Amino acid sequence: MSPQQNQRMNVMTRWLQSLTKFGGLLVLIGTTSLVFGQTPPANAGNDDVRNIFLKGRESYEAPPASEPVPNLAPASMPKSTTPTRKRSMTFEPNAEIVKRESKKDEPANTRKTSSTTPAPPPPSRIQLPLPNQNLALGYTLFKRETDGQWMRVDPSQTFREGDSVRFTLETSVPGYLYVLLRKADDGTATLLFPNPQLAKGNNYLEAHRLQEMPASQSTAEQWFTIEGGAGAETLLFVVSRKPLPMIPAREMLVAYCQDEPTECTKLKPFIWNWLVARQNRPTLTMTNPAYGQKLLPDEVTSIKHGARLKLKAPLPAVMTMLANKSSDPDEDLIVTKVTLTHK
């Protein structure tokens, strides 16, 4: 056995051990959350949900005027002349999701005063997280118009064959993103993101930076294209403060797909069921139905350059926040389910 094969075997062994341990606790955890969960009043907490996003955006310092916005998430601006690759519910997430580390100022007593020594550069964008920030996830669904522009649409509408749609996601805190797809015709569940071919399976997502789903690559925009007859596809958007042990990512996912390329993105039924059970936890949901509005310049900048959203940028169309912060860090995740119906 070569050193590379031995390394992949060790990575896969560690992941399978964590998956087995997690599966043994699934029934107990799932039952407990369904029995003791309480649903808050339907009209409760709308202002709280809105403020989670507005105050979160406000809690980040803007970079100096002379500092260019770092290109963390390259994507193409929506143009009518942009070539389009149509895919049937195929997901290619952004290949450049990069965790940003804040830089601290150098202590005054350690700075050099020599005239020949340049002053240290100013710190780049500094993250100022709010204490005890609640976990929230917002999404907006866009439909591609005939002129190539993105138009906000209602996710509950019925789509037609040939319609092309895509999502933008915004989170209130940094975390780890997972996207799963289940088709109604065969009931199989597939892991769409993280993807071993994108950023080496990295699925870390910064707060208040728009993530497009599916992500554009090179100069071509990527879209979910509705194909086939009447039916429905269900998407799960999952954001967790910690990596989920039962879903491989990064080097574990890469190693798994090298050894089992046809099996590595297929989900075990208990994983889908566990995530659906988490979706039933008490949450507060608010809608911002600005349907018919096109993608705005601030949103394009966030998608194209990885810039944090400004206060004036539109809020997500659907925003969901955990009603109660979990005392168990392994349970501190939010699951949003979206069903696209077509005829």
3-state secondary structure of 110: helix
In a domain, 185, yes or no: yes
Residue numbers in the chain where pLDDT is lower than 50: 24-44, 61-82, 84-88, 90-106, 108, 110-131
Rounded CA-CA distance 159/343 in Å is 6
Question: Which residues form the domain of 83?
Answer: 3-98+127-342
Residue 122 included in any domain: no
What's the chain's length in residues?
343
Q: Is residue 116 part of a domain?
A: no
Number of domains in the chain: 1
Residue 105 lies in a domain: no
Total-model pTM: 0.70
What pLDDT is recorded for position 255?
94
State the DSSP code for 220.
B
User: Residue 20: its pLDDT value, please?
Assistant: 54
Residue 131, preceding peptide bond in cis (omega within 30° of 0): no
For residue 199, being part of any structural domain is answered with: yes
Q: 245 near 17, Cβ under 8 Å?
A: no
Is 153 within 8 Å of 143 (Cβ atoms)? yes
Residue 113 resides in a domain: no
Q: Report which secondary-structure segment, H or E, holds 34.
A: helix 3-36
Residue 310 falls inside a structural domain: yes
For residue 215, give both structure tokens: 């992500």
Q: Is 250 left (phi over 0), alpha (psi -120 to 50) or beta?
A: left
Residue 40 in any domain: the answer is yes
Our CA angle for 90, 314, 60, nearest 5°, is 95
Tokens of 314: 């539109």
Listed residue (297, 304, 336) closest to 94, CA to CA: 304
Strand 150-152, strand 175-183: pairing: unpaired
Distance (Å, whole) CA 196 – CA 175: 18
